[in-house]
């Protein structure tokens, strides 16, 4: 389908897509197998609290990542919270600002200050030089984030953590099924945290997990996930209710069975996007290293305002009008969100690359519901918008002036 500017809804036409195209549309595994599992759960009436489906889900995660222990949780935010608590982090912890706000909230929730570090604009991951520069006597840990599923600077962060005697944890919410120098993500640092939220390529409706090779830590995490109970009527820690339900585990197991299929679809989509977007002025799709395992879950396009005819936000407005709900993850950066911008008003002074990248990045729809034809049509909209940038900009300016 070749669009002309007349087809662009912002100029009066009908949206190119009759139905909304979402980033994060859930992938669904084999329904028949899922329904068998759900019936079994209902028949046995074991719904949560250490049931067999959670146990097998945890077993599959350990097999796939090669990590000794998996503690499945109700979501990754709670997984981060209990990992942070079990590791004894206090005071200040270094994290990137360019991440989903849950990374910061998991610290602030327990009165630990997230100290925001800048990113390397090439990888969008926390820059080890910024990490080193932000260490103070109050720093107790570092949380590296494998953004978009691409491993962050694991070696450099491990070395910095060891030299400064800091605890290293990874937020691997995006990175299930990905590797770093051939080793599956999950076994780096003291522990790593995965998300299996509905919008992730493998999902358990809501869900997360902490994985670790540390036996004592694993035991502590299991207790903390279940109120700190060490036996009937006996509590040893301040715990929470972080348990995954049997239904979530059944969805997760079914989703894991489709893992290779979903990755294949994501990889195909990624290649079609690259083919069609990388040729446009000022547009580049972030690269995944083909020598690593990748889940290709995020299609992230960078729009360089210096060379693209329209900027990121102008393109988003066009796409939205065409029913393409692209997202500007992770704009404007945690440091510009409350409570952080009030609590730590000077953070932006240390985050020039974060500010620049956050203003240029958009995430595009992919997953099982998105076909190469849809992607070509989305890319055609962007091309047509660029070709008519002058006219479009005028209309957008008039709209915002009203």
The Cα-based distances of 394 to 4, 397, 401 in angstroms read 17, 5, 10
Residue 129 is encoded by which pair of tokens? Answer: 């030089």
Query: How far is it, in rounded angstroms, from Cα 67 to Cα 298?
Result: 24
The interface with ligand T4K within residues 277-336 (CB under 6 A) comprises 325, 329
Least Å distance, CB 79 to ligand T4K, is: 8
Q: 352 with 333: CB under 8 angstroms?
A: no
Q: What SS3 class is residue 361?
A: strand
Residue 150 is encoded by which pair of tokens? Answer: 């691409």
Q: Does 198 bind ligand T4K (CB under 6 A)?
A: yes
Contact pick of 27, 97, 179, 195 for ligand T4K (by CB under 6 A): 195
The interface with ligand T4K within residues 107-146 (CB under 6 A) comprises 145
Q: Does 266 bind ligand T4K (CB under 6 A)?
A: no
Comparing CB distances to ligand T4K, the nearer of 7 and 302 is 302
Least Å distance, CB 12 to ligand T4K, is: 26
Q: What SS3 class is residue 354?
A: helix
207 closest CA partner among 235, 164, 240, 247: 247
Query: How far is it, in rounded angstroms, from Cα 319 to Cα 382?
Result: 8
Q: 301 with 327: CB under 8 angstroms?
A: no
**Window contacting ligand T4K (CB under 6 A); options: 16-24, 215-223, 289-297, 350-358:** 16-24
Query: How far is it, in rounded angstroms, from Cα 269 to Cα 197?
Result: 21
Q: Does 99 bind ligand T4K (CB under 6 A)?
A: yes
Comparing CB distances to ligand T4K, the nearer of 7 and 192 is 192
Query: How far is it, in rounded angstroms, from Cα 88 to Cα 18?
Result: 51
Q: Name 402's Cβ contacts closer than 8 Å, sequence gap at least 6.
A: none
Comparing CB distances to ligand T4K, the nearer of 76 and 384 is 76
**Window contacting ligand T4K (CB under 6 A); options: 197-205, 215-223, 248-256, 261-269:** 197-205
The interface with ligand T4K within residues 202-221 (CB under 6 A) comprises 208
**Window contacting ligand T4K (CB under 6 A); options: 35-43, 69-77, 181-189, 385-393:** 69-77
The residue number whose beta carbon is nearest to ligand T4K equals 24
Least Å distance, CB 64 to ligand T4K, is: 18
Q: What SS3 class is residue 127?
A: coil
The Cα-based distances of 178 to 5, 69, 168, 225, 297 in angstroms read 40, 18, 19, 26, 10
How many residues in the shown chain lie near ligand T4K by CB under 6 A? 23
Q: For residue 187, how far is the Cα from the chain centroid? A: 18
Residue 342 is encoded by which pair of tokens? Answer: 């009030």
Least Å distance, CB 74 to ligand T4K, is: 8
Q: Does 75 bind ligand T4K (CB under 6 A)?
A: yes
Q: Does 77 bind ligand T4K (CB under 6 A)?
A: yes
**Window contacting ligand T4K (CB under 6 A); options: 73-81, 158-166, 247-255, 394-402:** 73-81
Q: What is the DSSP letter of 193?
A: E
Q: Does 197 bind ligand T4K (CB under 6 A)?
A: yes
Q: Which parts of this chain interact with ligand T4K (CB under 6 A)?
A: 22-26, 75-77, 99-100, 102-103, 145, 171, 173-174, 195, 197-199, 208, 325, 329
């Amino acid at each position: 389908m070749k669009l002309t500017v007349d087809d662009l809804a912002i100029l009066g036409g009908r949206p190119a897509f009759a139905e909304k195209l979402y980033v994060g549309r859930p992938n669904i595994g084999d329904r028949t197998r899922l329904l068998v599992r759900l019936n079994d759960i209902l028949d046995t009436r074991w719904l949560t609290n250490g049931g067999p489906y959670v146990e097998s889900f945890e077993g599959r995660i350990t097999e796939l990542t090669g990590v000794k222990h998996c503690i499945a949780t109700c979501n990754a935010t709670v997984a981060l919270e209990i990992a942070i608590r079990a590791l004894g982090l206090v005071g200040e912890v270094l994290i990137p600002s360019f991440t989903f706000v849950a990374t910061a909230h998991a610290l602030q929730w327990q009165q630990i200050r997230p100290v925001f570090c800048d990113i390397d604009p090439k990888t969008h991951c926390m820059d080890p030089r910024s990490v080193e520069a932000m260490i103070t006597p109050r720093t107790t840990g570092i949380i590296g984030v494998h953004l978009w599923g691409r491993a962050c600077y694991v070696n450099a962060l491990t070395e910095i953590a060891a030299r400064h005697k800091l605890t290293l944890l990874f937020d691997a919410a995006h990175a299930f099924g990905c590797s770093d120098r051939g080793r599956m993500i999950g076994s780096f640092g003291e522990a790593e945290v995965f998300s299996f939220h509905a919008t992730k390529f493998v999902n358990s409706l809501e869900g997360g997990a902490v994985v670790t090779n540390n036996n004592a830590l694993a035991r502590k995490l299991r207790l903390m996930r279940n109120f700190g109970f060490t036996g009937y009527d006996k509590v040893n820690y301040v715990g929470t209710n972080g348990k995954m339900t049997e239904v979530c585990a059944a969805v997760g197991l079914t989703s894991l069975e489709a893992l290779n299929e979903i990755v294949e679809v994501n990889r195909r989509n990624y290649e079609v996007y690259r083919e069609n977007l990388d040729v446009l002025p000022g547009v580049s799709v972030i690269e995944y290293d083909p020598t690593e395992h990748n889940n290709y879950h995020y299609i992230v396009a960078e729009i360089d305002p210096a060379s693209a005819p329209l900027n990121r936000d102008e393109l988003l407005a066009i796409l939205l009008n065409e029913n393409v709900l692209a997202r500007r993850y992770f704009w404007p950066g945690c440091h510009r969100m409350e409570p952080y911008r009030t609590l730590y008003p000077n953070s932006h002074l240390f985050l020039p690359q974060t500010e620049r990248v956050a203003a240029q990045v958009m995430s595009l729809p992919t997953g099982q519901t998105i076909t190469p034809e849809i992607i070509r049509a989305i890319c055609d909209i962007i091309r047509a918008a660029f070709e008519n940038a002058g006219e479009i900009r005028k209309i957008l300016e008039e709209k915002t002036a009203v």
